Amino acid sequence: MAPIPTAAAHVVLLGDSVLDNGAYVPGEPDVAAQLRAELDRRVTLLAVDGDVVAGVPRQLRALPPDATHLVISAGGNDALGHAHLLGSGVGTVAEGLDLLGRAREELAVAYAAMLDDAQATGLPVAVCTIYDTRLVELGLRVVRAATALFNDVITREAFARGVTFVDLRLVCDEDADFANPIEPSAHGGAKIARTIASWVRGDDGARRSAVLA
């Protein structure tokens, strides 16, 4: 696919509240507004706070006809839906991993189907990992270990399909990046917007940091 000139870019944001974070940054710019400022180009927000991976195909039905780039951040709410498993009583570590592995397999099926729909548009696609949330009540070490299983789905699908991969674990790496334990602040949103803009522009530095194309 020939590179799309940045001047013609129209980026569409899909997925969940990582990109639809306006409700969590009152009086401050959300990710979409920050990305518009970074690129000085059209940005359409189709992501919906609370949506899961299976909701992205529905969002894609509203895709603007002149869209040039798709950015998807999805999977975090799917992971949250399985958070109760962390409190399950099991006899061995292997039994616990089996429970989480079943949840991972469920996500893998939904994520593959979602990416099929996204790639069917013929547009460049970038997918984001689930970042390291600040859910301290569950234990940060436990949350990161469990989330890694879900992120494995995202990385595998991205690399297998040649889809651009944005590692939000590297982008949002400070407490100030979060408005609450699971939503990006304006500070974190600015970092997300800069990373996406670097991908759209094709900056070499992006691939050396948090973006793998």
Q: What single-letter amino acid sits at 153?
A: V
Provide the pLDDT for residue 5: 60
Q: Which CATH superfamily is domain 6-212 in?
A: SGNH hydrolase (3.40.50.1110)
> What tens digit of pLDDT does each residue of 128-187 get?
999 888 766 666 777 788 888 899 999 999 999 999 999 999 999 999 999 998 899 999
Domain locations in the chain?
Answer: 6-212
Q: How far apart are CA 76 and CA 63, in angstroms?
A: 22
> What tens digit of pLDDT does each residue of 1-28 get?
445 566 689 999 999 999 999 999 999 9
CB-side exposure of 28: number of CA atoms within 13 Å? 13
Element (H, E) at 13: strand 10-15
Give the mean model confidence (pLDDT) for residues 48-73: 97
Q: What single-letter amino acid sits at 49?
A: D
> What tens digit of pLDDT does each residue of 68-106 get?
999 999 998 888 777 666 666 777 878 777 777 888 898
Q: What is the phi/psi pair of residue 47, to 5°? A: -60, 150
Output the DSSP codes for 14-38.
EESTTT--GGGSTTS--HHHHHHHH
Q: How far apart are CA 70 and CA 140, in angstroms?
A: 31
Q: How far apart are CA 187 and CA 22, in angstroms?
A: 13
Provide the pLDDT for residue 145: 82
Q: What is the pTM of this model?
A: 0.89
Q: Are strands 211-212 and 125-128 parallel, antiparallel or unpaired?
A: unpaired
